[in-house]
Structure 1
Amino acid sequence: MAVKRSLRICEKGHKYYKSSECSSCPTCDKENKPKSGFLSKLSSPARNALVHEGIDTLQELSMYTEKEILKIHGIGPASLPIMRTSLEEEGLSFKE
């Protein structure tokens, strides 16, 4: 069964196709990707999910447990090792 993909246009005028309800534009995601920091190491969905929750520093991330982070839509288990390593490099960790 073929997945139905619909043409969408973001507010900046980029055209893209999506099969899900996700409204993020791939072109805008690339343009907005940070050049450094832990957010630059994450996938677009995970990065967008954290920023949407107001988590954009390792200090803010360390105030959450791994379970709380995994409950955020857009964060998957593959993102946890990246976040854990980034926290450890700064002498931080997830909340117990």
Structure 2
Amino acid sequence: MEQTSNLPSKLSKPAMRAFTGAGYVKIEQFAELTEKEVLELHGVGPTAIVLLRQALADKGLSFRK
């Protein structure tokens, strides 16, 4: 079953692999996670957090506090 991702296209390949490997393919899923939890995924760095934060804000969402 193919899932369509709506994650920012500017994310690095390691970050995209980390997210898809963990089952995160929709930006809305990140509203259930803290920034710290996302950063714990191997291949995810500060740039990915900035991109995700902006993508969440564009949808009126944010990381869990």
TM-score normalised by the chain length of structure 2: 0.85
2:53 matches 1:84: yes
One-letter identity of the residue aligned with 2:44 = I
**Greater relative contact order (Cα < 8 A, sep 6+):** 2
RMSD: 1.7
More strand by share: 1
TM-score normalised by the chain length of structure 1: 0.59
Instruction: Say which SS state the counterpart of residue 40 (structure 1) adopts.
Output: coil
Aligned residues: 62
The aligned residue for residue 74 of structure 1 is 43
Bigger radius of gyration among the two: 1
More helix by share: 2
The runs of at least 4 consecutive aligned structure 1 residues that moved more than 4 Å come to: none
The aligned residue for residue 10 of structure 2 is 41
Structure 2 stretches of 5 or more lacking a match? none
Structure 1 stretches of 5 or more lacking a match? 1-33
